Amino acid sequence: MSKFKKKTGNRQPAISTASLPDIVFMLLFFFMVTTVMREVDLLVEVATPSATEITKLENKALVSYIYIGKPMGALKKTLGEEPRIQLNDAFANKSDILQWVEMEKNRRDEAEIPRITWSIKVDAETKMGIVTDVKQELRKANALKINYSTMETDKIVD
């Protein structure tokens, strides 16, 4: 019987790596679940300014986005440099906002409508004129809870 006895020498047994795939799969599932694929193709350049007093948007399902900025690279040739509004996947005029707001509201439950946040993503170089027009349209559409999308920074410089 001593033939089969394991040698209890100073050789340590190798650590089993059998559970490694399990660990990695766990991480994998975590990232798969948390990943949000970008839902719209941006047609405008949006480099938002930075601010320090940021509040996070918690419920992504209750956020609708408005983008304002210059048309993207290739579109610049045909559309010029004038800042434009993008709603969902297409360019829009400010007169379209009213209808778009209604559509966005209809997409949600009635109870959730007052909790919708309207996130406005505006390029830092845009002039306030167009932003004001959009704000005015939102007021008309009774979409009052807005969020000026910004990046986070430690300090504001002059």
By CB under 8 A, name the binding residues for another protein: 17-18, 20-21, 24-25, 27-28, 31-32, 34-38, 48-49, 51-57, 60, 63, 117, 119, 122-129, 131-132, 135, 138-140, 142-150, 152, 156-158
What's the length of the chain? 158
Nearest distance from residue 113's CB to another protein, in Å? 15
Find the shortest distance in angstroms from Cβ 112 to another protein. Answer: 17
**Strands of 90-92's sheet, edge to edge?**
90-92, 84-87, 63-69, 117-122
Between 84 and 135, whose beta carbon lies closer to another protein? 135
Q: Which is nearer to another protein, 9 or 105 (CB)?
A: 105
Three-state DSSP at 26 gives helix
Alpha-carbon span 99 to 102, nearest angstrom:
5
Closest approach of Cβ 63 to another protein, in Å? 7
How far is it, in rounded angstroms, from Cα 38 to Cα 89? 12
Q: Which residue has the tokens 């990695």?
A: 24
Which residue, 94 or 139, is less far from another protein as judged by CB? 139
* Of residues 79 and 146, the one with the C-beta less far from another protein: 146
Per DSSP, which regions of 1-44 are E strands? none
Query: Minimum Å distance from CB 134 to another protein?
Result: 11
Minimal distance, residue 88 CB to another protein, in Å: 17
Q: Which residues of 99-130 are buried (b: 16+ CB within 10 A; e: fewer)?
A: ebbeebbeeeeeeeeeebbbbbbbbeebeeeb
When the beta carbons of 90 and 151 are compared against another protein, the nearer one is 151
